[in-house]
Amino acid sequence: QLKLVESGGGLVQPGGSLRLSCAASGSTLDYYAIGWFRQAPGKEREGVSCISSAGAATYYADSVKGRFTISRDNAKNTVYLQMNSLKPEDTAVYYCAAEVTGTIVHGCPIYEYGDWGQGTQVTVSS
């Protein structure tokens, strides 16, 4: 019943910023950990960041640590990914997905996540 919809992608120059949103319907996000994943052309889908159900725990891939910030507003049923200092290698389709235990222990293993959104394209280019 949970449905996730990503938005906020677009074309941005290197060094720029974007904020992605993952909006949920059909169920409250209160019980779910939420992960952001991305898939670049010719590459496998990889975990970018994830956040526990109450927001107390977060994880960032080394490639985005210090540049991206994940947050959530459970009252709005939305999770955000603030992306700063964007690089061309950040170009990908970005997806959000839900994890039912609500916890983060070992990064954001893709097999633990489901109810995938449709994705939003992020392109970083001059």
Taking only the tens of pLDDT, the chain with its 126 residues reads: 899 999 999 999 999 999 999 999 999 899 999 999 999 999 999 999 999 999 999 999 999 999 999 999 999 999 999 999 999 999 999 999 999 999 998 899 999 999 999 999 999 999
Number of other CB atoms surrounding residue 103 within 10 Å:
15
**Residue 99: its pLDDT value, please?**
96
Calpha distance 53→60 (Å, rounded): 16
Structure tokens at 66: 């210090």
| Per-residue model confidence (pLDDT) at position 1 | 84
| pLDDT number for residue 106 | 87
